Structure 1
């Protein structure tokens, strides 16, 4: 038995993948284990580091365990003689089209005030960086919202157009801006645009709504008022969101920050009134879930937000591996794995081709993470978590190292993988290649860089909480 274990440990000698110049002076934590928890490889396994979007594994596992696989979010609407009343416990899948249809179904003329009771109204989560706030991936967090709290900027005949509406955002022509550029300030609610926008109809950017709940209320009526009570009678209309498995898959595959924050808060609000301190309640509930249900060592994690945007999140690779092991032993394991990212889809669209991997990516500035289930050459599934911090190389090269780590496991059979000995050689990727990080198209973000496409709304540039 001891000899067998030693042989297994030798097979998963992944040090050559990590002992490369690009990681000199970096901080990282790595764990590989069998599905039963047997450790196959570890490196700084008890070191707490920033997880980036690997945080979403925690939030989504908590939401699935708390809400259940059959959960469907609902938005309730009452039409009174003098007002419209809305109750939202959170639904990140709610769309503008659904709200507009509700307006038609209830024969609303848009003149009545809208009173909204919502489980939480965060605004900007504490510790998020201010320069990220214009972007869709850093939208304010509110229970009542639509289209993940985002709107689009289009150019049509050389003029800017906001879709599905302006929602209080003022357009200002700015001659100082270069051709085709836009600059958005969500705090002042001003979008400045270049006098020379494309004549063709083209989407320029996807940005964060300045006030998501007020924007949602404006679809139904004239003015937004927060309230704590709703009519005692049955609602006149109930809008059903997408089933929880669909929301989880969108969140994890596309790395949607807004969905992750909402999922964590929705799950917490199911058990208690969290309106006085939503994140305080959420952090306590999630950590209790990890410590008491999953069995994570309390020393292994500091949970701060749902998406991983905050650098106040800290976790060990051992804790991530423990969570993945626990999830694999639940009745919902097949559903859980189907919600994870896999090669050639979502944030793994151009990565790990040919590797049987299901998991989660993560990137912030100087942070790259990759964790999940990977099958080796024998067809045996193992759990692997690699969290890289404080490297000086580009995020693209750091992701190459993370990919090499998983490929080495996948190629392992009776002996060390060839990948362990070829000497890590990062591919020469153009950081602006649309097939490397995210989908680019014409236009600019608020930093003056290219804009993201609507098809990849869950992604964001390397200066922020990337997938």
Structure 2
């Protein structure tokens, strides 16, 4: 802790440093005597190890003796192919059509509605926890724009549907997504996805590809669930502070996109005529410390609603 206390009224400025691989945080800067509390967030260097350590500590706090130390084991892919080689390897279309219809995995067998000890061979369940459903997680991911959840879903796709020998690599997950989008009628030249969150500088997508995906979704039996996962203008999620006035409030169902100096907004719009239209707006070269492009996007949405 290298934070200096300064006189009341002076500026407060706190920063955090951590060397790669270290668990030691250096907090430094200055804080005024009358300053309000500051909250910051940091990433976990090794989430698997962190979970193991936390689990060990919780067990010990409840009187359970643990021998040895908490550690993490990471799967190392033995696949020597490049990302592009894996990405462009065609998938069996019949395999994709059976998504979700195959044999349940171990977790499904253990906790399908309830954790039944009888379903777990040679084990005794002391404490059980049932995770949210896939739909609940997608709602949370889209409403709050959670990058980590998007990355985990991508890897889960690789593990579940690409039969990835390295247990869910991002390359196999991207391969599943690519085949799904091509199956939906989207040109493979209109997108390139390297990850699940969109944070990679390699990610590319056209507004046309996004619009076609939204159109495809509207024809599917799962459309209502999908649409319900999107932020609603003036109501919730990342759009709670936009489209707050009639006639757009509650009538814009769209996903925001924010990365560096790029901004995007794509989704469904209830228009004055009663029609629902699809839109996709993407802006590059966003000016830092300015919301002019966001205001322009919102005006475009309003114009579409009014003229349709």
Q: What is the TM-score of this pair, normalised by structure 2?
A: 0.70
Which structure carries more strand by proportion?
1
In structure 2, the partner of 1:330 is 220
Counterpart CA distance in 1 for 2:141 and 2:167 is 26
Change (3 A) 1:276 1:270: closer
Question: Number of residue pairs matched?
Answer: 240
Q: How far apart, in 2, do the equivalents of 1:392 and 1:199 lie?
A: 34
Aligned counterparts of 2:74 and 2:31: Cα–Cα separation in 1: 44
Q: Find the counterpart in structure 1 of residue 262 from structure 2.
A: 367
- Does the 8 A contact of 1:377 with 1:411 survive in 2? yes
Q: What do you get for the CA RMSD once the two structures are aligned? A: 2.8
Is the partner of 1:371 in helix, strand or coil? strand
Tell me: CA distance 1:288–1:197, structure 2 relative to 1, closer, same or farther (3 Å). Answer: farther
Partner of 1:273: helix, strand, or coil?
coil
Cα 1:395/1:196, change in 2 over 3 Å: closer
Residues 344-403 of structure 1, C-alpha deviations (whole Å, 9 max, x = no match): 222112112231110101112221101000011101001001111135575511111111
Aligned to 1:173: 2
2:15 aligns with one of 173, 178, 182: 182
Matches within 5 A, 1:285-324: 285-292=176-183, 294-324=184-214
Instruction: Encode CA deviations 1:55-96: one digit per residue, 9 max, x unaligned.
Output: xxxxxxxxxxxxxxxxxxxxxxxxxxxxxxxxxxxxxxxxxx
- Give me the whole-angstrom Cα distance separating, in 2, the residues matched to 1:198 and 1:323: 54
- Which residue does the alignment assign to 2:87? none
> Counterparts of 1:91-240 in structure 2 under 5 Å?
172-175=1-4, 179=12, 181-185=14-18, 187=20, 188-189=22-23, 190-194=25-29, 196=31, 202-221=37-56, 222-226=69-73, 233-234=122-123, 236=125, 237-240=127-130
Separation (CA, whole Å) in 2 of partners of 1:384 and 1:204: 37
Distance 2:123 2:149 in 1: 28
TM-score by length of 1: 0.47
Counterpart CA distance in 1 for 2:124 and 2:156 is: 20
Q: Which has the higher helix share?
A: 2
Relative CO higher for 1 or 2, CA cutoff 8 Å, sep ≥ 6?
A: 1
Alignment-derived partner of residue 85 in structure 2: none
Do the aligned partners of residues 299 and 376 (structure 1) sit closer, same or farther apart at CA in structure 2, a change above 3 Å counting? same
Distance 2:131 2:34 in 1: 37
Compared CA separation, residues 197 and 182, structure 1 to 2 (3 A) = farther
